[in-house]
Structure 1
């Protein structure tokens, strides 16, 4: 089924500090049977998820995408003062608007990487289901072996020097992650250097994670170049009160396809969106 982009709408959500936050809604042709909020990975623009959101809409669900504030041009990144906590607060406001607009429709949260970490910091009681994709904690010693040796150098040397020169973290030019505003990168670096990750700034995090009770599915892949099985398990163990189904796939189980950290959301793998996600989408 081909999705008609004329059904897309753009609106703004007002953050608690008055910032207007743009969101894009992909509406199905008929009445939606559910709503999906797509919460992006670090340094990943909302446009990356457009094909995925259109696919969801073509199958009868309203899908909403957005960018973290400060995501855009180098000039926008240089001017941005937000850290990751600010992003958490923004997403809280976005979810509230999406859930209000949903009315009686069930809302599914699909959190890619960082998007799977922030559920405890929003009003998760408004969620009917939660899906995390390649979401683990970011502590460097739990990274995949291929990047583990680089991580301390990245956080302690490369990122600080790059931000001092560029005024933001120019990950695309360095071919190390993507572009990130300096405030968010500094806080994320601090988390990634701490054994309990975001608990360095949020000692209350274990209690917040334990409050999440919506049914959850964790989707991950053995060829993820960033997140190890240990990292993914460590994060999801914090969701101690949620009923979690953990699904982890090898390339051999996916007809030899290598999905890595981002590949699941590429349109070449659209057949997997129905096969792996449909049973876990509310509505």
Structure 2
């Protein structure tokens, strides 16, 4: 892409852990966007979405959380990682790196799934001007669509525990479908997914956290055919950001000229007609 520079880099998390990252930067960026992945999605999954942003003048940064894809050690058994660590140690470093891509310009965030959750655990998320949530909802199994619940219960109660007993982690692919997951990520996530309030019931034990401090606007996009981030699940998460002005935008696959999109399709070619929407919203915040 003419005038756009793509570079692989290594970030240092707040505790020094090395994180794999990818920057996609136009010649004269008007702002920066930090793109935070869903659980088990490698940063490269979001590359086309980031390239669309760079073509609009946004310097985009993609990164892998510790234990995921390019930020995983050679051996996951015994590796210490959790979702809270992603928010408190990894995302802050990524925010600082994204800001450095467009010095003196505004920062925005775009989070897929857990990428929207982490804002509340991130001590410097207030450096962003606004947050775009894409398919962000709680993982509570009872808020998933009914047809999906047997599949997710099998993962939590049968497949996952068997993998931990045999391997010490969740392997890539198979019934899981994503990248390999560290044990601590799985066990923490599973505990929350059996709580109707998700981790809302644990926030007083997960201190410090900054959900109540978030005051930047949030616009949350969801798909009507997403079996995971349903409207009820979306509202569970947005309620945690009690002091932020938030709004929801719900799209059907037909709105994008597709038969199905689901939980991650907005970042594939199926979602290409959607890509301008977050960047249009960022433009309105400049």
Match of 1:69 in 2: 66
Match of 1:130 in 2: 131
Structure 2 residue runs of 5 or longer lacking an equivalent are: none
Say yes or no: does 1:180 pair with 2:170: no
Residue 67 of structure 1 deviates from its aligned partner by 0.6
Alpha-carbon contact 2:30-2:102 (below 8 Å) kept: no
Match of 1:260 in 2: 262
Match of 1:202 in 2: 203
SS at match of 1:104: coil
Aligned partner of 1:56 among 43, 53, 56? 53
Match of 1:12 in 2: 10
Matches within 5 A, 1:173-252: 173-203=174-204, 208-252=210-254
Alpha-carbon distance change, 66 to 4 in structure 1, aligned in 2, over 3 angstroms: farther
SS at match of 1:27: strand
Alpha-carbon distance change, 127 to 6 in structure 1, aligned in 2, over 3 angstroms: closer
Superposed CA RMSD in Å reads 2.3
Residue 248 of structure 1 deviates from its aligned partner by 0.4
Alpha-carbon contact 1:70-1:76 (below 8 Å) kept: no
Q: TM-score, normalised by structure 1?
A: 0.90
- Larger deviation: 68-77 or 85-94? 68-77
Alpha-carbon distance change, 156 to 5 in structure 1, aligned in 2, over 3 angstroms: farther
Alpha-carbon contact 1:139-1:193 (below 8 Å) kept: yes
For residues 195 and 228 of structure 1, what CA distance do their matches in structure 2 show? 14
Match of 1:114 in 2: 114
C-alpha deviations, 1:237-263, integer Å up to 9, x for none? 222211112100122333344211000
SS at match of 1:280: helix
Match of 1:280 in 2: 281
- Larger deviation: 78-87 or 200-209? 200-209
Aligned residue pairs total 279
Match of 1:167 in 2: 168
Alpha-carbon distance change, 177 to 142 in structure 1, aligned in 2, over 3 angstroms: farther
Match of 2:25 in 1: 27
Residue 176 of structure 1 deviates from its aligned partner by 4.8
Structure 1 residue runs of 5 or longer lacking an equivalent are: none
Q: TM-score, normalised by structure 2?
A: 0.89
